[in-house]
Amino acid sequence: MASIKMGIGLGLWHQGMPDAATLFEYIDKAEAWGVDSVWLSDHMMGNREEVAIVPMMAAIAARTQRLKFGPSVMMMPLRHPIAVAREVATLAYLSNGRMIMAAGLGADKQEAEAFKVPLKARGGMTDESIAILRRLWQESDVTHHGKHYQFEHVTITPRPQQKIDIWIGGRSDAALKRVARVGDGWFASFVTPQEFAEGIEKIAAFAQEYGRQPENIESGSIVFCHVDPDGDKARRDFAAFFAGNLRRPPEMMLGRSAVGTPDECREILQRYCEHGLTKYALWPACPPDQLIRQLAFYAQEIMPCFERRNAPVLAS
């Protein structure tokens, strides 16, 4: 069985935000227990209980030695690409290359309106931003005159010493074409195994049209997860987590998540792997006081079955 890397999510807390001590314990235990990466939900406005991702990623870089990290996904149209290039390059420098970039349009209409970003312009802005990032990370003197961004003779330091992969989020055909055209990977979010398979098939077809080899494009997915030895309790707790959420009602999310006993969750994740998934990010669907318990389930009961490594020894 090929090695499948397990990441975890940080953010999207529907039942209150953990305190700082719990957040740091979550990161420290992820590092100690062998988790591959942590992915941070990105929103620019404070109407959600989430931390700002750039300072949080800096904290992760400082606290850990091995754990990779990245945004999931960074809303590119709400930021100037020069600022993004500088911040990401600095995070890569501080972490000795552990920064992974994931970019997307952002799905929140209110945030786009607050930043005066036309909704129909977001795709073009994201494409242009990705091209700018790659140039600024590789070249010492960059001039750019595009539709959305114009600047002359820009240099950032320190420039990355190794390539920073850019994963692309989104499910629309436009997003999948972006993956096929310029992405190092596709980071799906909240899709069923069948929807994931359909996305992979489209990316492969688009990649061939753009002259790229589909096997050079990785694929991963964010998957909400709630594990409990009592599968019925896991499903009740999961439903409570999404109760009252009009955008993500429990009945819709259940088919796009791994919920139940460890065996049931492993079986669900295996369905994604059968369609070419190489990295999954389990997103805890639980209140803050259960965050570390869920992480322990992931590290002990799920991760060893998908990675070629010994089961981690969980220290208290």
Is residue 273 classed as helix, strand or coil in its secondary structure? Answer: helix
Q: Which parts of the chain sit beneath pLDDT 70?
A: 1-2, 46, 308-316
Query: Quick check: is 54 in a domain?
Result: yes
| pLDDT score, position 177 | 98
Query: Quick check: is 311 in a domain?
Result: no
Between CA 289 and CA 25, with CA 302 as vertex, the angle to 5 degrees is 35
Question: In 3D, which of 123, 215, 102, 220 has the Cα closest to residue 165?
Answer: 102
CA distance 77 to 182: 17
| pLDDT score, position 309 | 39
| pLDDT score, position 233 | 98
78 DSSP 8-state letter: G
Q: H-type helices in 117-261, by residue range?
A: 122-138, 173-182, 193-209, 231-242, 250-254
CA distance 194 to 265: 16
Name residue 258's beta-bridge partners. 225
Phi-psi region of 298 (alpha: psi -120 to 50; beta: other; left: phi over 0): alpha
| pLDDT score, position 108 | 82
| pLDDT score, position 46 | 66
Residue with tokens 């020894």: 313
Chain centre to alpha carbon of residue 160: 21
| pLDDT score, position 49 | 85
Question: In 3D, which of 122, 103, 102 has the Cα closest to residue 111?
Answer: 122
CA distance 194 to 200: 10
| pLDDT score, position 313 | 42
pTM exceeding 0.75: yes
CA distance 121 to 195: 26
CA distance 42 to 275: 27
CA distance 146 to 58: 31
CATH number (domain holding residue 295):
3.20.20.30
Query: Quick check: is 288 in a domain?
Result: yes
| pLDDT score, position 312 | 40
**C-beta of residue 39 within 8 angstroms of C-beta of residue 70:** yes
CA distance 12 to 163: 29
Query: Quick check: is 263 in a domain?
Result: yes
Query: Quick check: is 33 in a domain?
Result: yes
Query: Quick check: is 298 in a domain?
Result: yes
Enclosing H/E stretch for 151: strand 150-154
Query: Quick check: is 312 in a domain?
Result: no
Query: Quick check: is 316 in a domain?
Result: no
CA distance 243 to 238: 9
Domain extent, residue 279, equals 5-306
CA distance 227 to 37: 19
CA distance 182 to 261: 38
**C-beta of residue 104 within 8 angstroms of C-beta of residue 157:** no
**Cβ neighbours around 136 below 10 Å, total:** 24
Domain count, the chain: 1
Using a 10 angstrom Cβ sphere, with 0-12 exposed, 13-18 middle and 19 or more buried, the burial of residue 58 is middle
| pLDDT score, position 113 | 92
Q: How many residues does the chain have?
A: 316
The token pair at 284 is: 């805890």
| pLDDT score, position 247 | 86
CA distance 138 to 134: 6
